[in-house]
Amino acid sequence: AYIFQSNEEDDRKVRRREKNRVAAQRSRKKQTQKADKLHEEYESLEQENTSLKREIVKLTDEMKHLSEVLKDHEKICPLLHCTMNFVTVPRPDALASCLPR
């Protein structure tokens, strides 16, 4: 009876060890997949960040250009120099001279 019980205990230990080994493999695989996913997300966010920084530079340049255009236009704009600029409806001819042709 003792030999039978010992073999049974050995079998249980072997099965438990095998089950533990499989669980550990599964856990390591899951960790690796999680790390890979995080790395991909990191790469994607880095690309998006670079793209957004380029967009900021482009928009900043455009804003500077438009500010200069506006400043130049303000110097010659009849609507801004008109003594009657408090009138709610500007004269169509004055407005037309300010609009792009």
pLDDT in tens, the chain (101 residues): 555 568 888 899 999 999 999 999 999 999 999 999 999 999 999 999 999 999 999 999 999 999 999 999 998 988 876 655 555 555 556 556 665 55
Total domains in the fold of the chain? 1
- Would residue 58 count as lying in a domain? yes
Residues 6 or more apart whose CB falls under 8 angstroms from that of 97 comprise 78
Contact 76, 99 (CB under 8 A): no
Give the span between the Cα atoms of 35 and 30, in whole angstroms. 9
- Would residue 85 count as lying in a domain? no
- Would residue 27 count as lying in a domain? yes
- Predicted local distance difference test score (pLDDT) of residue 72: 93
- Predicted local distance difference test score (pLDDT) of residue 82: 63
Contact 98, 77 (CB under 8 A): yes
- Predicted local distance difference test score (pLDDT) of residue 26: 98
Interior CA angle at 59 toward 55 and 65, to 5°? 150
Residue ranges making up the domain that contains 60: 1-80
Give the span between the Cα atoms of 48 and 54, in whole angstroms. 10
Residues 6 or more apart whose CB falls under 8 angstroms from that of 10 comprise none
Q: pTM of the entire structure?
A: 0.56
Tokens describing residue 100: 């792009």
- Predicted local distance difference test score (pLDDT) of residue 6: 80
- Predicted local distance difference test score (pLDDT) of residue 79: 82
- Would residue 93 count as lying in a domain? no
- Would residue 9 count as lying in a domain? yes
- Would residue 62 count as lying in a domain? yes
- Would residue 92 count as lying in a domain? no
- Would residue 71 count as lying in a domain? yes
